[in-house]
Amino acid sequence: MKQQIFNDYETLSSAAADLVLETVKQNPGAVLCFATGNTPAGTYRLLAEKARAQAADFGQCFCFGLDEWLGVPPEKNGTCHQILHEQVFKPLGIQSSQVHLFDGMTTDIPAECKKMNEMIRQKGGIDLALVGIGLNGHIGFNEPGVSFALEAHAQELHDSTLASGQHYFSEPTPISRGLTLGLAQLMKARITLLLASGSGKAPIIEKALEGPVTSEVPASLLQQHERALVMMDKAAAAHLTK
């Protein structure tokens, strides 16, 4: 695992956007996985600007969504569907045929997960997964205690995830469970890029990067990923000692 520390959120977001652009320039058919959340929003804004300025072509890439709320209609503000379409797919001209997202309205969770796993295999695995970290150390909806061996699965959400999750919706929305890619899939990604910003993330960044590898802090598993890259701003890195 490598680490990069940036002065602020804007320079962090710019570097992350550059990495996505570079990945697609080097491999136009790259398989990408995107998370939603406050942290990657700046990356997506700058990615759209840079892609436009550089006439980058995303016409051959393929995109997966990291997770989705169960039981929330896809068109609702705050879903992975809606956010990725607004912030990533529409601005980059990525067509729906180039995208596979979890169906949060599924009535057959095992089939939905199987479809995701098979699609990822069929595409040859993920080249670049861009993820955030929750205050409890989760990645996607891989909550503390999760098995490192899991691929796509449904997960009961922890209280802190439910509380922070509510902020993504424009109106109170009942949420309790989510679908997520598993850590086994993120560990196989050719690059797993974890972004962290702000002093609120400093304690969990210290645990994830310098503490023991434990399922109680799911992101700590990235210590064992040779091509994991943690990009953070100074505020998020403030508790690191090494």
> Per CB under 6 A, which region of 9-17, 55-63, 130-138, 217-225 contacts ligand PGA?
130-138
> Per CB under 6 A, which region of 24-32, 35-43, 78-86, 172-180 contacts ligand PGA?
35-43
* SS3 call for 22: helix
Residue 214, number of CB atoms within 10 A of its CB: 15
Contact between 134 and ligand PGA (CB under 6 A)? yes
By C-beta, is 56 or 236 nearer to ligand PGA?
236
- Non-local CB neighbours of 242 within 8 Å, separated by 6+ positions: 209, 210
> Is 142 part of the annotated catalytic residue set?
no
Contact between 37 and ligand PGA (CB under 6 A)? yes
> Per CB under 6 A, which region of 32-40, 142-150, 202-210, 214-222 contacts ligand PGA?
32-40
User: Which residue shows structure tokens 């850590």?
Assistant: 183
- Non-local CB neighbours of 37 within 8 Å, separated by 6+ positions: 132, 168
Task: Check residue 8 and report its DSSP letter.
Answer: S
- Which one, of 100, 109, 130, lies nearest residue 36 by Cα? 130
The nearest distance, CB 42 to ligand PGA, in angstroms, is: 10
How many chain residues interact with ligand PGA (CB under 6 A)?
A: 7
Residues that bind ligand PGA (CB under 6 A): 37-39, 132-134, 164
